Amino acid sequence: MIMIYGNPDAPAHPALGPGTATPGFDPLLREIAESGELIDARALADPVTASTLRLHDGVLASMAGPFPAGLEHLVAFVVVDCESRDRAAEIAGWFPNAYTAGVEVRPVMGSSGLEM
């Protein structure tokens, strides 16, 4: 899974352009789809719409906002089926967010353990 982070206060990378989150996202997804590596991709709603739930002494408490509160937040995810972790990292590096807030690559757990 490729997790794409954003920081609304960070200066935009030139590839992003003013006032845009991830232009070029669709062409990247098309390229990955054409290679047969794309499984799914979704953008997430703004973190202000999030709720964080915690269980304290058997009582479920809900707090408005994301957890953890921080500068960067998860803005989208892309699930790929690649030959290797190196290939997943190569794809992750194509996203402009790798230059600003960060892009994380992590294996998805399957029924038999880690999967790429």
Residue 107 CB contacts under 8 Å (≥ 6 apart), including other chains: 1, 85, 114, 115, 116
Q: What is the pTM of this model?
A: 0.75
Strand partners, 54: 61
CA separation for the pair 24, 99 (Å, rounded): 14
CA separation for the pair 81, 40 (Å, rounded): 10
**Which of 31-35, 37-41, 68-72 shows the lowest per-residue confidence on average (mean pLDDT)?**
68-72
- For residue 68, say if its preceding peptide bond is cis, omega within 30 degrees of 0: yes
Q: 62 vs 105, which has greater pLDDT?
A: 105
Give 9's Cβ-side CA count (13 Å radius): 4
pLDDT score of 39: 94
pLDDT score of 22: 52
**Which of 71-75, 85-89, 93-97 shows the lowest per-residue confidence on average (mean pLDDT)?**
71-75
